[in-house]
Chains A and B, each alone.
Chain A
Amino acid sequence: MNNLSIQNLNRLNNFSDIYDVLSSVVMDELNIYNQAYLELDQPLIKNEVFHKNTKYEIPITFSVEGDMNGQIICLLDSYKKDIEGPEKEFFLSLYVESMNILLGKMMTELEEKYNITALLSSPTKPKEGALTEFNKSTMSLLAMGYKLIHDSVEYDCRIIFKVKKKRIIEV
């Protein structure tokens, strides 16, 4: 391991809590190509147990690798929302890309502010019961909420982090 990597790991280790760094890069709002807007609805909070996703919540997951490892599950609540029909595929793609952009910007900000490198994977559909697995994890569990606004309709989104700092190697 070179000196720079050790320096980065130590810098990361100096943070009292992963919550501190993540909460400082949460964005209040984001314009998605003038076709959708994300507005922070619930700031990042620490949590220990998450309620199971409902059948109306559309899940998408991302992996994070680097100085911070883990998974992020996003859930869009479609209860009483009309997202069927020909526009459904477009809307779902818009939702997934909106989450990708939001999380990508947060991970970028982590590097700019703290020199923490955390790379985001491409989105995938989570396995059945993934959120239940989150609840069993010993990693930090954090959650925040956004409103995704598209065509004057607001959709609630839960974004749940299961993350940990990379293990520090003693040298």
Chain B
Amino acid sequence: MDAETNSFNFLIVDDSDFSRSSISKMLNDSRFNIVGEASNAKEAIDILKERSVDLAIVDVVMPDVSGIELADYITENFDHIAIIMISSLGQESIVIDSISAGASDYIQKPFKKEDLLTSVEKILSSREEV
């Protein structure tokens, strides 16, 4: 959490420009600060090394390195960062793999703004309690 602005820092990782843009609009709130958008895992890791992130929203299916592999990396190297996985796919095995990789929640596309905000609020409030 950014102490100066009292806001949470978000990273959005999705190979779709449209998807990133849609999510960014949904998170248009003074408490949420989008500190980076990445279209692949490599870009995401570069951002994670440079900026403070509280919550990463990660697409599962991406070229080269999958979102699940990225979630594994984040969990291993930045264990303070919460992860929400998103995908057009909702198969059980993918959801299980995502949670095993450290994701706190999994939302199937296309989701409503309320679905995303409910998930975000739940995760952030549990972190504030800790």
Q: Which of B18, B19, B89 contacts A108 (CB 8 A)?
A: B89
How many B residues face the partner with a CB closer than 8 A? 21
B22 at the interface (CB under 8 A from A): yes
For B45-84 the 0/1 string (1 means CB < 8 A from A) is: 0000000000000000111000000000000000000000
A101 at the interface (CB under 8 A from B): yes
Task: Give CA–CA (A93, B21) in the complex, Å.
Answer: 10
Name the residue on A nearest B62 (C-beta). Answer: A122
Query: Is B61 touching A90 in the complex (CB atoms < 8 A)?
Result: no
Q: Which of A96, A104, A121, A124 contacts B109 (CB 8 A)?
A: A104
Task: Give CA–CA (A89, B109) in the complex, Å.
Answer: 21
Query: Is A90 touching B93 in the complex (CB atoms < 8 A)?
Result: no
Task: Give CA–CA (A101, B61) in the complex, Å.
Answer: 11
Q: State which residues 66-122 of B face A: CB under 8 Å.
A: 87-94, 108-110
Question: B19 — which chain A residues lie within 8 A by C-beta?
Answer: 93, 97
Task: Give CA–CA (A126, B17) in the complex, Å.
Answer: 20
Question: A101 — which chain B residues lie within 8 A by C-beta?
Answer: 88, 109-110
Task: Give CA–CA (A111, B95) in the complex, Å.
Answer: 13
Q: Which of B87, B91, B108, B110 contacts A33 (CB 8 A)?
A: B110
Query: Is B22 touching A33 in the complex (CB atoms < 8 A)?
Result: yes
Task: Give CA–CA (A70, B87) in the complex, Å.
Answer: 20
Query: Is A32 touching B110 in the complex (CB atoms < 8 A)?
Result: yes
Query: Is B18 touching A93 in the complex (CB atoms < 8 A)?
Result: yes
Q: Which of A35, A90, A100, A119 contacts B91 (CB 8 A)?
A: A119
Query: Is A107 touching B91 in the complex (CB atoms < 8 A)?
Result: yes
New contact pairs (9) apart from A93-B19, A121-B61, CB-CB < 8 Å: A31-B110, A35-B22, A89-B17, A93-B18, A104-B89, A119-B94, A122-B15, A122-B62, A124-B63
A-B contact pairs, 7 of them (CB 8 A): A35-B22, A90-B17, A93-B18, A96-B18, A102-B88, A108-B89, A117-B93
